[in-house]
Amino acid sequence: MSYDVIVIGGGPSGLMAAISAAEHGAKTMLIEKGKKLGKKLAISGGGRCNVTNRLPQEEVIKHIPGNGKFLYSAFSIFNNYDIIDFFENMGIQLKEEDHGRMFPVSNSAQSVVNALIDRLDELHVNVNLQTVVKTIHYDENEHTVILSDGQKIVTKAVVIAVGGKAVPHTGSTGDGYAWAKKAGHTITVLYPTEVALTSNEAFIKNKSLQGLSLRNVSLSVLNKKNKPIITHQMDMIFTHFGISGPAVLRCSQFVVKERMKGRKQVPMLLDALPDETEEALNNKISSFMKDSPKKSFKNLLKGMVPERLLAFILVRNAVDENQKAANISKETVRSIIQDMKNFIFYVDGSLPLEKAFVTGGGVTIKEIVPNTMQSKMTDRLYFCGEILDIHGYTGGYNITSAFVTGRLAGINAAQEVIH
Ligand SMILES: Cc1cc2nc3c(=O)[nH]c(=O)nc-3n(C[C@H](O)[C@H](O)[C@H](O)COP(=O)(O)OP(=O)(O)OC[C@H]3O[C@@H](n4cnc5c(N)ncnc54)[C@H](O)[C@@H]3O)c2cc1C
CA 341 to centroid of ligand 1, rounded, Å: 38
What tens digit of pLDDT does each residue of 288-310 get?
999 999 999 999 999 999 999 99
Q: Is the CB of 44 under 6 A from ligand 1?
A: yes
The whole-chain average pLDDT of the chain stands at 97
Ligand 1 atom 33 nearest Cα: 9
- With the most atoms of ligand 1 within 8 angstroms of its CB, the residue from 60, 357, 390 to mutate is 357
Q: Look at residue 90 in the predicted model and tell me its pLDDT.
A: 96
What tens digit of pLDDT does each residue of 133-178 get?
999 999 999 999 999 999 999 999 999 999 999 999 999 999 999 9
Answer yes or no: is pLDDT of 321 > 90: no
> Other C-beta atoms within 10 Å of 259: how many?
17
CA 251 to centroid of ligand 1, rounded, Å: 21
Q: Look at residue 1 in the predicted model and tell me its pLDDT.
A: 81
Q: Is the CB of 147 under 6 A from ligand 1?
A: no
Q: Is the CB of 8 under 6 A from ligand 1?
A: yes
- How sure is the predictor about 380, in pLDDT bands with cuts at 50, 70 and 90? very high
- CATH architecture of the domain with range 2-191+361-417: 3-Layer(bba) Sandwich (3.50)
Answer yes or no: is pLDDT of 51 > 90: yes
Residue type, 403: F
Give the residues across from 94 on adjacent strands.
104
Query: How many angstroms separate the first and last alpha carbons of the chain?
Result: 19
Q: Is the CB of 161 under 6 A from ligand 1?
A: yes
Answer yes or no: is pLDDT of 419 > 80: no
Q: Is the CB of 10 under 6 A from ligand 1?
A: yes
Percent of the chain at pLDDT exceeding 70: 100
- How sure is the predictor about 45, in pLDDT bands with cuts at 50, 70 and 90? confident
How many Å apart are CA 276 and CA 246, to the nearest integer?
21
Answer yes or no: is pLDDT of 212 > 80: yes
Q: Is the CB of 146 under 6 A from ligand 1?
A: no
What tens digit of pLDDT does each residue of 113-139 get?
999 999 999 999 999 999 999 999 999
105: exposed, middle or buried (Cβ count in 10 Å: 0-12, 13-18, 19+): exposed
User: Domain map of the chain by residue range?
Assistant: 2-191+361-417, 196-350
Q: Look at residue 140 in the predicted model and tell me its pLDDT.
A: 92
